[in-house]
Amino acid sequence: MNEARTIPATAVSLEDGFRYCERLAKSHYENFTVGSVLVPKDLRRHVHAIYAYCRWVDDLGDEPVEPLVKSLEEADWMHEQVRSGSQPLGPSQRMALLDRWEEELEACFTGDPTHPAMVALQDTVRTFHIPREPFLKLIEANRMEQRSSRFSTFEDLLFYCDHSANPVGHLFLYLFGYTDKGRQELSDYTCTALQLTNFWQDVHRDYSIGRIYLPLEDMERFGYTEAELSQRIVNQNFRELMAFEVNRAEELFQRGLPLVDMLGGKAKIDVALFTKGGMSVLEAIRQQKYDVLSRRPSLSRWKKARLFLSAWAKMAWRGSAH
């Protein structure tokens, strides 16, 4: 795919780039709405730009070919090269796409990017003086995904989370004007905990696409095998394994909690929401007696609304108290 260096026929304006990012953000749903009302209006477009970047990195790494081609066509970027490639895309093709994305990132910092998300992101990184590192780490995380689908140790998994999850927290902090290492370290605990929580929600789904995030050393320690996982067997060994992993994630949430009181305004609420939401998912796993293979644990809309209202009321109360 080295010959693929096509540039859209029509240059993308900055406003077109931000509109593209907004559409992309609003078309996807996570545990909580991206660019929610808790994000100050003047930051919302920049949140959308960062979300679009993150979404594209993930999609280039694992999106099925047809949806990926559609997304590429909408962005007028690289679609002919992907459409003419083999289906499904293998690791080498994915790596080539990620390499091309890294080149586009470099253009975002030093030249003229062509992808609409990068056009918007260029304005964001210049406005908030965001360095390359968190963006590069996210690309490297997806390269790791192409190289391996298993993690031997918990340390290996934490290293992956340091590339796949923690950079997102750093980007969030940059948008709100926080650049110190202390807050970044606390953010890392929270982001890693959120990533682990997502893994423990999706053990079955991830296995169905060939991935196991449960550390192999832990599976061996608790006497649970991949053969049992393939049959969705939930026995005492599996429950004890999941209890162990859930407790680990909760400990990380607890270590990150001081960050909430080190932030101001709506940043405080967003972090509190993500933390409470993640811990609530862990509690949902416990309520299911750690059976995440029969049914994916998640939060009801009512539970999400309660978390939102609780966080909003807390901010309003603190505001009136000062």
- CATH number of the domain to which 215 belongs: 1.10.600.10
Closest CA to 40 of 224, 268, 254: 268
Do 42 and 164 lie in one domain? The reply is: no
186: pLDDT strictly greater than 70: yes
Asked if residue 7 is part of any domain, the answer here is no
309: pLDDT strictly greater than 80: no
Domain boundary among 131, 163, 193: 131
Distances (CA, A) of 47 to 172, 180, 240: 8, 20, 39
Residue with the bigger pLDDT between 258 and 68: it is: 258
Distances (CA, A) of 53 to 17, 43, 160, 234: 12, 16, 18, 37
Do 215 and 174 lie in one domain? The reply is: yes
Asked if residue 19 is part of any domain, the answer here is yes
- Between CA 259 and CA 186 the distance in angstroms is 6
235: pLDDT strictly greater than 90: yes
pLDDT computed for residue 9 by the predictor: 40
Do 179 and 307 lie in one domain? The reply is: yes
End-to-end Cα distance, the chain: 59
pLDDT computed for residue 265 by the predictor: 82
* Mean pLDDT, residues 12-19: 94
Task: Using DSSP, state whether 312 is helix, strand or coil.
Answer: helix
Q: Are 141 and 98 a contacting pair, CB within 8 Å?
A: no
pLDDT, one tens digit per residue, over 115-148 is: 999 999 999 999 999 999 999 999 999 999 999 9
- Please give the residue range of the domain that contains residue 65: 12-131
pLDDT computed for residue 320 by the predictor: 41
Closest CA to 185 of 176, 197, 173, 194: 173
pLDDT computed for residue 322 by the predictor: 45
Range in 4-13, 41-50, 92-101, 258-267 the model is least confident about: 4-13
Domain boundary among 97, 131, 165: 131
Do 173 and 55 lie in one domain? The reply is: no
Range in 6-20, 38-52, 141-155 the model is least confident about: 6-20
* Mean pLDDT, residues 55-79: 73
The per-residue DSSP string of 64-108 comes to: -HHHHHHHHHHHTSSHHHHHTS-SS--HHHHHHHHHHHHHHHHHH
Range in 179-183, 266-270, 305-309 the model is least confident about: 305-309
Do 154 and 275 lie in one domain? The reply is: yes
Do 289 and 156 lie in one domain? The reply is: yes
Is residue 46 very low, low, confident or very high in pLDDT (cuts 50, 70, 90)? very high
Do 161 and 303 lie in one domain? The reply is: yes
Instruction: Write down the H helix ranges in the chain.
Output: 14-26, 41-62, 65-75, 79-83, 91-110, 116-128, 133-147, 154-164, 166-175, 181-201, 203-208, 216-221, 226-230, 236-256, 265-287, 301-321
For the chain, the domain total comes to: 2
* Mean pLDDT, residues 186-215: 96
Is residue 26 very low, low, confident or very high in pLDDT (cuts 50, 70, 90)? confident
pLDDT computed for residue 62 by the predictor: 79
Q: What is the CA radius of gyration of the chain?
A: 20
What average pLDDT is seen over the chain?
86
pLDDT computed for residue 37 by the predictor: 56
Do 176 and 104 lie in one domain? The reply is: no
Range in 86-90, 188-192, 250-254 the model is least confident about: 86-90
